Amino acid sequence: MAASDTHLPTRIEQHDAQTLAIGWADGAESLINVRALRLACGCANCIDEWSGQPLLEPESVPVDVAPRGIQPVGRYAIQIEWSDGHNTGIYPFERLRGLADQGVLAPLD
């Protein structure tokens, strides 16, 4: 299996109201907190394109934010329509896997 294949999801599904489950081609499983995923959006509305500084205020994202729809973007990413109206973020599979492996998308306290 090529190294990039580890970043290919074999399934993405809602695990519960606050969690997405992603199965990866290498057999790994990731449970991703949906609010943490929303806060990790890398779009130009959420991250300053020049400085890389966050523009999104965490307190502006409802604690019960949830995906309303998940669409594939080619064979490399997903785009999520969020219940707070945000829908411009693209989440490349490689970035999703990296954030999940680092624990960035774990449940928030």
Q: Where are the domains of the chain?
A: 3-101
Q: CA 34, CA 48: separation in Å to the nearest integer? A: 22
- Work out the pLDDT band at 103, boundaries 50, 70, 90: confident
Q: Give pLDDT, residue 106.
A: 80
Over residues 51-83, the pLDDT tens digits come to: 999 999 999 999 999 999 999 999 999 999 999
Q: At which residue do the structure tokens 């994202």 appear?
A: 61
pLDDT above 50: residue 1: no
Would you put residue 92 in left (φ > 0), alpha (ψ -120 to 50) or beta?
Answer: beta
Q: At which residue do the structure tokens 């604690």 appear?
A: 63
Question: What rounded mean pLDDT belongs to the chain?
Answer: 90
Q: Any idea what the Cα angle at residue 8 is, between residues 19 and 27, rounded to 5°?
A: 75
The CATH number of domain 3-101, selected from 3.20.20.70, 1.20.1730.10, 3.30.2020.30, 3.40.50.620: 3.30.2020.30
- Percent of the chain exceeding pLDDT 90 equals 82
- Work out the pLDDT band at 31, boundaries 50, 70, 90: very high
